[in-house]
Amino acid sequence: MTEIETSSKDPVTKLSKREAILESAGVLLLSNGFESTSMDQIAINANVSKQTIYSHFGNKAALFTAVVENKCQKHDLTQSLFDPERPVHEVLMDLARHFTDLIHTEEAICLHRLCISGGEKHSHIAQLFWQAGPVWLQNQFAQYLEKKKTDQQFHARCTTNAAQQFIYMLRGEDHLKLLLGLDEPIKSDELDQYILDCVELFERAYLKP
């Protein structure tokens, strides 16, 4: 697994100040950990003032939350994905592809490890990640399924449980291997087949014929 780059070349000339801050914070937080990363370090790496960071995000916890949200957005995990006018199969396939793309990135694996390694001593870090990433995504998906249930296209006793089942089914064995450092190459054709199998299984369980 390659190391995450810890510096950037003149980021403000290529990115907006907000984007530069998010980029800098993501790199440093994942490399050094939440407690060991200061706002001063983030400011220097982003080539902005510390006051600029505070004016955009308020505090380091809010900045960490924004970093998590930004990673989701870059992988198209946004509210528009769950437009209630979109067909269920299309949403399932796009969610599956975007979600697996995200969780297999080195940044996502490092973020999971950061939250786990914090343990009970820094459980607030895991809580920030939990709310900004997994909980947000599951809630958006569950709300979409609830609307489809109202449209009588979807049936489940609990759409929250159904959303959770699909998302965690997508993680599969490959994601666990990556978390454990078993860096076996993920074959794209095998992953594509696994995604399709997950979607078809979910549809057979919950979609009305």
Q: Name the DSSP letter for residue 155.
A: -
Q: Name the DSSP letter for residue 133.
A: I
| CA distances in angstroms from 137 to 82, 103, 144, listed in the order given | 10, 13, 11
Residue spans of the domains in the chain: they are 11-68, 75-206
169 within 8 A of 202, measured Cβ to Cβ: yes
| CA distances in angstroms from 196 to 91, 92, 139, 154, listed in the order given | 13, 9, 22, 19
Query: What pTM was estimated for this model as a whole?
Result: 0.87
pLDDT in tens, the chain (209 residues): 334 444 444 444 446 899 999 999 999 999 998 989 999 999 999 999 999 999 999 999 999 999 999 999 999 999 999 999 999 999 999 999 999 999 999 999 999 998 888 766 778 899 999 999 999 999 999 999 999 998 888 999 999 999 999 999 999 999 999 999 987 778 899 999 999 999 999 999 999 77
- What is the three-class DSSP state of 154? strand
115 within 8 A of 132, measured Cβ to Cβ: no
- Report the sign of the C-alpha dihedral through residues 12, 18, 19, 21, in that order: positive
The matching CATH number, chosen from 3.40.50.300, 1.10.357.10, 3.30.1360.200, 3.40.50.720, for 75-206 is: 1.10.357.10
Question: In CATH, which superfamily holds the domain spanning 11-68?
Answer: Homeodomain-like (1.10.10.60)
- Report the sign of the C-alpha dihedral through residues 86, 89, 93, 95, in that order: positive
